[in-house]
Chain A
Amino acid sequence: MRRSQIIFSSLLSMILLLGMGSLQAQDLAEGKSLFRTNCQSCHNANMKAKMTGPALGGVEERWADYPEDLYRWIRNSQALVAEGNPRAVEIYNEYNGSVMTAFPNLTDENISNILAYIDDIYVNGVPVVGQVAGGGAVVEKETSNWVYFGLFGLLGVLAIVLARVISNLNYMVQLKEGNAPAERKTLLESLTSKSVVGFVLFGLIVLAGYFTVNNAISLGRQQGYAPEQPIAFSHETHAGLNQIECQYCHDGARRSKHSVIPAANTCMNCHKAIKVGSKHGTAEITKIFASVGYDPNTDLYIDDIENIGRDSLENIYKEWITDNYLLAEELSALDQTGEELVSEQWDNLVASLTNETKDKIYGPIEWARIHHLPDHVYFNHAQHVTVGEIECQTCHGPVEEMEVLAQHSPLSMGWCINCHRETEVQFKDNEYYASYTKYHDEIANGSRKAVTVEDIGGLECQKCHY
């Protein structure tokens, strides 16, 4: 379903791109990038909803009376307000005198590209992201075991046939030698003979042992584990598309053993402004508001949130979901679909934020933990991130491409050890390592190229187990 959508929309956009011509396409690309860097922090990227600034869709129409002034407004809005341009004054007052950032460096061409991009999004909607990632997904080759089963069956049949042949030959030999009364073993008898049963038992024990050991080793390992989370948080959107630095949210990684799952108030740093998501609309971001007790209708934190009733909260968040639905659908009253959507989103919110031990909506978001080390293992993020200067992706994989986060590495001891064998220590610039005099001497005289973690004791038990 999803793949066909992707293919369809990529085809559509290709046709559109071809139709518009290559020049236009370049403009759109530049417009997109300029919009991202300059506008997106205050204007909604869907061009339809308000954020800090107004929704930009149809902006040229609104400025149709003063086409030249739109460009001047973008470069320096305050000058235009000072001049008394009616449109400028109107917007200025509408937004309670908040001042739009001036962009004096944007050329006319830049601005027209941005406007083209805005118009494109407004008319055609937000393109489905991840075309490259989606298109790049290799169709997994279906490895089939049937060949082996077939082969195995064939060999089995062959064995039985051969057994029969031997049995027959034996019978013939006995007849010939006159050893009466010669009896021929039935098929059942040969199959239940001691040697066959013994062989089968032996095989089963070996197999059972093999599977037991393998399963025991992988017990508790969960590479590829990608559980459903209470909020459909997308690392792809945040770390990939929006290029947010990993350690902006996971701020423990540089200074603590834990990378730290960000507190909901960290989310609010941005989502106080970005209140409606590009993919899920109000469905997911409202959960953050509910968990921190934020009223998106009034932009205020709810007083006495600990004691407020479920009904009041329901009113607040349903109102918010409804308003946004009406705005998006350009309706004045809820229709059937809308009502279903509102109650569905609310029910989902309640289900996500509560569980058997937490009956309040307000309170921490209980994420499903993905990376989990046993209690007898000590791992420190700061050691690896700050001192070792290891990229997050080295262990966590291409998180910026993960719509749903999954455990990338096995997190097994063998995996740790291998990395410690191969990874070089950031030896040169860190005064701490000066005490490794022998290695420094060896590097100086050329007999050593680098110092691995293993060389400074990185494989010793008590580096991680104490």
Chain B
Amino acid sequence: MKTTKETIWIGEEDLTRDEQFLQNAQKETSLPGATDLAVENNLSSNRRDFLKYLGFGVGAAAMASCEIPVKRAIPYVVKPDTIVPGVATYYATTFVHGADVLPVTVKTREGRPIKIEGNSLSSFSRGGTSARAQASVLDLYDIDRLREPMSKATDGWAAADWSDIDKNVSTALKSARNAVLLTPTIMSPSALKLISDMSAKFNLKHVQYDAISSAAMLDANEESFGERVIPDYHFDKADVIVSFGADFLGTWISPVEFAADYADRRKVKDLKNPNLSRHFQVETGMSLSGSNADHRAVIKPSQMGSAIAYVYNKVAGGSAPTGSLSDNAKKVLDAAAKNLRGASGHSIVISDSNNKAEQMLINGINAVLGNYGKTMGFAHASLQRKGSDKELRAFLRDMQAGNVDMLITWGANPAYNIPEAAAFVEAASKVKTKVALAYKKDETTLLADHIAPIHHNLESWGDVEAKKGMLSTIQPTISPLFETRQAEESLMTWAGMVSDETPDYHTYVKMNWKSTAFAGQSQFASFDTFWNYVLQDGVFETSGGAEASFGGNAASYGSRVTKPSAGLEIDFIEKVALGDGSYANNPWLQEMPDPVTRCSWGNYLAVPVSFDGNRNFEGFQGVEHDSEIVEIGFGENSITTPCIKQFGQAKDTMSIALGYGRGAGGTCSKGIGVDLYPQLPVDSEGYTQYYSTEVDWKGSTKRKEKWYSSVQYHHTMGVTAPEGETGEIINADEQAIATLPVKGFQGSLVDRSIIRRAHADDLHDFTHDLQHEREHHQYLNAAGLYPGHDDLYNQGHHWGMHVDLNACTGCGACTVACMAENNVPVVGKKEVARHHEMTWLRIDRYYYGDVENPSVVYQPMMCQHCDNAPCENVCPVNATNHSSEGLNQMAYNRCVGTRYCANNCPYKVRRFNWLDYTTADTWPDNEPELVQGTGLEFGADDLTRMVLNPDVTVRSRGVIEKCSFCAQRLQEGKLTAKKEGRKLRDADVKTACQTACPTGAITFGDRNNPDGELMTKFASPLNYIALEEVNVQSSVQYSARINNKDKSLEA
């Protein structure tokens, strides 16, 4: 039983039994953030308004009964064949945003895209999605997007005609001596052809750069393999994975693809021979990948070169200098090297370092291990990063010298996302003509003379080659909403490339495909058939390019790795949701909590906690509380930012995310977090570095952030506390703690069956213990609340869900998918701070193991649809009740908002609409502001409302809501089967979280279908039910988290 009874904790106060926390825990309303609920109600309506509305309501009702207002029913004039109103149509296209790419299918209703799904025909994404891709549909309806072309006038911006802009820009382009097209990585073969055609015709240079750069890696690969590409990684073939800082499950290069492969080797398929991969992560702060790793070596960012050299020496026998690594780090690195040596040809070593020497050593390690051609290849080499730091810097020098007379920016935002942003802004005045192909008025766009607004990805034509030979198409799923024009078409127009032969970019793409992909295949004789086929599938895959072998000299770079420095350091990271900051105006992504820190709406400075060995933790440099505002200095400049104490953060280091503190670019991103791009150093070779050693700690201001939007202690479940008089340990929750005379707060989760975990070598004993434990629980569960239902459950459907905690990496794609599918409202920073987030599906993050460098388990938590649901029998109006299919139903219109159900839910998954987040009711004064001071009410405008799923009710203020197992999808799936007169198949009923998941962690299905996928999963002895002992008979089973730690390190 040892493995199942170890302490698991969720945060520092919880672990240390912090005095303040214990005191606060006495009252629900004084839990962090909840205090202000009573003080400030954030509303401008009052009781008098209520009476007014009431009076008006009665009057209106009386009027309404006399005359019925005429509602219009407006049919099509000419109905398109492909559209049946009320039936969704799916189109295959590709999500592209900067260097992020994913083949997807788009669900449209009456010609309106409302949801992104994966494209399972793609061997690149295998049907998975990311939070960013899921949220991209909301960008289409961004109220801040540019709606018409504009030119700079004497007093600000003036709307312009396309013809005027076209005339001006093409004249400037013709006369330009040195024009530059600045973009992030472009993966579209047609767009690249277009640009190279243009470059041949004009004095135009194309410069690509990535805000979060992989330039050094690309340059190292060019030297090693003769090609400036990223290898094709096969994490599913790797027994040992060592990552030096690369967050390949969260943000690095192609996380969806990597996560799918990675999870393939983390799932326990055979209990006797689990054959799991072993994952070492070397990093400073805890990243998503690090949190999934078996072992983390915690180092300062400047020690990364030393750490790589250390492993290189051990594996390849080199003698590169290794600086001053800590003993703990060395221990892990030794083990990593040992494991790597034992897995030649079956391992992967990667790094996100932007130092060429370090990347050469990584290549050297992989070459020595013989990984190339086995776990890493070049036939389908990744083209997802192409940016060159050197070219960017050369361009900046040119610009500063006044040698650039025309600048076209397309998707690039150098006035914000490069270290030299300020210099760029200054030098911009020296450029004669500046044109921005832009989606929003961001920092760079504001400098332009002409703004040519571009289509959203979902309004565009195009193609993508994310990996060699893995092509995918982009097709429009909606007519352009505004007076925008596709960027490529603008370029064509300016370059005078619009002709009878290629009247638009759509034709240009087709022509390009005709001469390339179509010419290279033999399956189709007619191009039109081929093109239709490709568009329908969305993907077209060929055998790719040639393999390459390592031809570099890694040893010669051994002495050129970064030298470690002493003192305080800061690590600049990329967040899973917000990326380089170009997603900052997407409220779904802003509100998605960071998987590790659990903070939303802001970039919090992560600082380490130190442990005195006696269950006492000390904050870093006197920091006492999370959300305390601290000041840090960078040379002459300093910034203030709230901080959080983060487990697993290296000593004397801090981490903070880039992509916040936007100066322009949308209402939603305004005033959120602080911008760190200006603090990025550039090394002597011209590569941007994503850490800084030039940082001073200026001390804490001892103030707390006003709206600390961390969801860490929200909806905590399984809390236990000693009962006041008897001292007996009882099950408690936030409400109970507030009302029971309990003494002290025992800490959470001790002894509750929420997380079950084990080591891969101990599965035999573990499953035995788990079975024993479950038998004991089931003994309590002999009786059900609804005896009559048993008969019903045995026929028809009985829904259930399985979540494999080994496959779940915590990426959060499911949470955003759930918001999109179920019209879950965004509530904004202040409301999150007040525990009011509405997410139906949350991902809980639990720590276990070494208290300073813990391991992590992620647990997606949604309504468990208990067959003995405690929420149902406390509802005074029977608004929540049980269906014959085992669903815990919620009838919003019956709910009167007592919230008894939420209090009685052991899993804390019920959400209450405190305010009218969606403006679904008729009292406009009840609508909260999404971002303080902006007056922005999310969901209040007609444009944003276009994203709503018409099959799901938009809830109004004062009702409880929760996960419905996507009831609308179940009903639709059942109807499909009924109409076709056949049995229900697994494929008919898939929940939104299930289809979004890149790793297949979630399986939904019918428990009455013994051949279905669900029942196969339910048969595993690794399964357990969260809080099974409380006898609620949940419908969701979790598969225990199995790690594959190197036991020699555990000793």
Contact = CB atoms under 8 A, between A and B. Distances in A.
Given A375-B953, A435-B795, A462-B887, A260 B86 contact: yes
Interface stretch (B76-84, B158-166, B841-849): B76-84
Interface in A337-374: 362-369, 372
B318 to A, nearest CB: 62
Contacts of B885: 457
Nearest to B794: A438
Interface string A247-278: 00001100111101111111000000000000
Nearest to B1006: A435
Contacts of B891: 461-462, 465
A378 B72 contact: no
B71 A252 contact: no
Contact of B74 (A257, A364, A372): A364
B78 A436 contact: no
A382 B1009 CA distance: 25
B866 to A, nearest CB: 15
Contacts of B76: 263-265, 364
A261 B79 CA distance: 11
Contacts of B84: 251-252, 255-256, 260
A460 B796 CA distance: 14
A382 B979 contact: yes
B455 to A, nearest CB: 22
A264 B86 contact: no
B77 A291 contact: yes
Contact of A465 (B86, B953, B974): B953
A436 B953 CA distance: 29
A108 B61 CA distance: 67
Interface in A89-136: none
Contacts of A367: 72-75
A466 interface: yes
A461 B984 CA distance: 22
Contact of A365 (B75, B881, B1006): B75
B68 A222 contact: yes
B175 interface: no
Contacts of B792: 457
Contacts of B796: 435-436, 456-457
B1049 interface: no
A172 B74 CA distance: 78
10 smallest CB-CB distances across A and B, nearest first, come from A256-B86, A263-B79, A263-B76, A462-B889, A369-B73, A258-B86, A461-B891, A466-B967, A257-B86, A369-B71
Interface in A354-406: 362-369, 372, 375-376, 378, 380, 382-383, 386-387
B199 interface: no
Nearest to B80: A263
B776 interface: no
B402 interface: no
A387 B975 contact: yes
Contact of B968 (A368, A369, A378): A378
A218 interface: yes
A292 B78 CA distance: 8
B889 A461 contact: yes
Contacts, number: 167
B1044 interface: no
B894 interface: yes
B78 A265 contact: yes
B527 interface: no
26 contacts: A227-B70, A251-B84, A256-B85, A260-B85, A263-B78, A263-B79, A264-B76, A265-B78, A362-B77, A364-B74, A369-B72, A376-B892, A429-B981, A431-B981, A432-B974, A435-B796, A435-B797, A435-B1006, A436-B795, A437-B795, A439-B795, A457-B883, A457-B885, A463-B883, A466-B951, A466-B953
B445 interface: no
Contacts of A220: 64
Nearest to B891: A461
B890 A462 contact: yes
Nearest to B84: A256
Contacts of A218: 65
Interface centre among B61, B72, B884 (most CB of A within 10 A): B72
Interface in B15-62: 58, 61-62
B87 interface: yes
B868 interface: no
A366 B77 CA distance: 10
B978 interface: yes
Contacts of A375: 953-954
Given A383-B978, A429-B981, A435-B797, 14 more contacts: A252-B84, A257-B87, A262-B79, A362-B77, A364-B74, A365-B75, A368-B72, A369-B70, A372-B71, A375-B954, A436-B796, A439-B795, A457-B792, A462-B887
B155 interface: no
Contacts of B553: none
Nearest to B954: A375
Best-buried of B86, B884, B893, B982 by chain A (most CB within 10 Å) = B86
A255 B980 CA distance: 11
B577 to A, nearest CB: 28
Interface of A is mostly: loop
Contact of A258 (B72, B85, B954): B85
B791 interface: yes
A462 B967 contact: yes
B165 to A, nearest CB: 24
Contacts of A212: 58
A434 interface: yes
B943 interface: no
Nearest to A380: B975
Given A227-B70, A255-B84, A367-B72, A386 B979 contact: yes
Contacts of B61: 215-216, 219
Interface string A218-241: 111010010100000000000000
A430 interface: yes
A368 B73 contact: yes
Given A375-B953, A462-B887, A364 B75 contact: yes
B542 interface: no
Contacts of A372: 71
Interface in A420-448: 429-439
Contacts of A262: 75, 79
Contact of A438 (B87, B791, B953): B791
A265 B77 contact: yes
A255 B84 CA distance: 8
A457 to B, nearest CB: 4
Given A430-B981, A432-B983, A462-B967, A219 B795 contact: no
A40 to B, nearest CB: 26
Which of B62, B73, B797, B883 has the most C-beta atoms of chain A within 10 angstroms of its own C-beta?
A: B73
Contact of B883 (A291, A431, A435, A460): A460
A66 B983 CA distance: 66
A431 B983 contact: yes
B896 interface: no
Contacts of A368: 70-73
Contacts of A439: 795
B565 interface: no
Given A222-B68, A432-B983, A465-B953, A261 B975 contact: no
Contact of A466 (B72, B964, B982): B964
Contact of B77 (A363, A429, A460): A363
Nearest to B966: A466
B729 interface: no
B795 to A, nearest CB: 5
A262 B954 CA distance: 28
Contact of B1008 (A378, A383, A387, A435): A435
A408 to B, nearest CB: 16
A466 B968 contact: yes
Contacts of A255: 84, 87, 979
A382 B977 CA distance: 12
A432 B964 contact: no
A362 B982 CA distance: 45
A259 to B, nearest CB: 9
